[in-house]
A and B are shown apart, each in its own frame.
Chain A
Amino acid sequence: MRRRALIYGSAVALLMIGAFPLFWMVSTSLKPSGEIFATPPRMIPARPTLENFERLFADTRFLTYFRNSATVSLTTVALTLAVSSLGAYGLTRFSFPGRDTIAALILTTYMFAPVMIIIPFYILVKQLGLVNTHLALVLSYTTFCLPFSLWLLRAFFRSIPLDLEEAALVDGAGRGRAVWYVVLPLALPGLIATAIFTFILAYNDFLFALVLISSEELKTLPVGVNDLFNATIVDWGMIMAAGVMITAPAVVFFAAVQRYLVQGWGAGGVKG
Chain B
Amino acid sequence: MRKNALAGWLLLAPSLALLGGLVLFPVLYNAWLSLFDKHAFLPVQAFVGLKHYVYFAHDEEFWNSFEHGVVYAGATLVLQLAVGIPAALLLNEGFRGRNLLRGVVLFPYVIPTIVAVILWKWLLNDSYGLVNHWLMASHLAALPVAWLGKDHIMTSLVVTSVWQFFPFVVVTYLARLQTIPPELYEAATVDGAGAWSRFRHVTLPQTASVLFVIVLLRSIWMFTKFDTVWLMAGDGGVSRYIRTLPVYAYARSFTYLQAGMGAALAVIMFVLLLAATAAYFRLFQREEALS
Interface positions of A (Cβ within 8 A of B) = 4, 7-8, 10-11, 14-15, 17-19, 21-22, 24-25, 28, 36-37, 39-41, 83-84, 86-87, 89-91, 93-97, 99, 102, 106, 109, 112-124, 139-140, 142-144, 146-147, 150, 162, 200, 203-207, 211, 221-222, 225-226, 229-230, 236, 239-240, 242-243, 246-247, 250-251, 254-255, 258, 262, 265-266, 269-272
Q: In the complex, A102→B83 CA distance in Å?
A: 38
Residue B259, interface by CB 8 Å: yes
A10-B90, A206-B114 are contacts. A28–B122 as well, Cβ < 8 Å?
yes
Contact yes or no, B95 A7, CB < 8 A:
yes
Q: What is the CB-to-nearest-CB distance from A175 to chain B, in angstroms, rounded to a whole number?
A: 9
Main secondary structure on A side of the interface with B:
helix
B22 (CB) vs chain A CBs: closest residue: A143
User: Please, could you name 15 A-B residue pairs with CB atoms under 8 Å apart, sorted by A?
Assistant: A14-B87, A18-B104, A86-B14, A96-B3, A102-B16, A106-B19, A113-B226, A119-B249, A121-B26, A123-B259, A222-B112, A236-B128, A239-B118, A254-B106, A262-B171
Q: Which residues of B contact A83 (CB under 8 A)?
A: 14-15, 18
Decide yes or no: A87 and B86 within 8 Å by CB, A25-B119, A37-B128 being known contacts: no
Q: Is the CB of B114 within 8 A of A118?
A: no
Q: Which of B58-66, B198-206, B262-270, B281-289 contacts its partner? A: B262-270
Q: Mark B124-150, 1 if CB is under 8 A from A, else 0.
A: 010010100100010000000000000
B230 at interface by CB-CB < 8 Å: yes
List the B residue with the shortest CB-CB distance to A114: B226
Interface string of B21-33 (1 = CB under 8 A from A): 1111111011001
In the complex, B115 has a CB within 8 A of chain A? yes
CA distance A76 to B167 in the complex (A): 25
B246 contacts which chain A residues (CB < 8 A)? 113, 115
Partner of A116, one of B14, B103, B224: B224
Task: Determine if B123 is an interface residue (Cβ-Cβ < 8 Å).
Answer: yes
Q: Tell whether B209 is near chain A: CB-to-CB under 8 Å.
A: no
B 86-103 contacts with A by CB, 8 A = 86-87, 90-91, 93, 95, 97-98, 101, 103
Interface size class on chain B is 35 or more
| Given A21-B120, A272-B165, A116 and B269 contact (CB-CB distance below 8 Å) | yes
Q: When the two chains form their complex, are residues B15 and A140 in contact, meaning their CB atoms are under 8 A apart?
A: no
Task: Please give, as numbers and ranges, the residues of chain B lying within 8 Å of A271 by CB-CB distance.
Answer: 221
Most chain A CB atoms below 10 A, which of B33, B120, B128: B128
From A255, which residue of chain B is reached at the shortest CB distance? Answer: B103
Contact assessment for B90 and A118 in the assembled complex, using a CB-CB cutoff below 8 Å: no
Task: Given A28-B122, A91-B8, A143-B22, verify A119-B253 contact (CB < 8 Å).
Answer: yes
Chain B residues with Cβ below 8 Å from A121 are 22, 26
Q: From B14, B87, B175, give the contact of A266 (CB < 8 A).
A: B175
B107 to A115, Cβ gap below 8 A?
A: no
* Distance (whole angstroms) from the CB of B72 to the closest CB of chain A: 14
A124 near B101: Cβ-Cβ < 8 Å: no
Shortest Cβ distance from residue A259 to the other chain B in the assembled complex, whole angstroms: 10
Residues of the A chain whose Cβ atoms lie less than 8 Å from the Cβ of B14 = 83, 86-87
- Which residue in A14, A40, A144 is a CB contact (below 8 Å) of B137? A40
Q: Is B12 an interface residue (CB 8 A)?
A: yes
Contacts of A22 in B (CB 8 A): 107, 111, 119
Whether A139 contacts B11 in the complex (CB less than 8 A), given A117-B30, A265-B171, comes out as no
List of A residues within 8 angstroms of B1 by Cβ: 93-95, 162
Question: CA A54 – CA B88 in complex, angstroms?
Answer: 40
Known: A18-B104, A94-B2, A254-B110. A265 touches B8 (CB 8 A): no
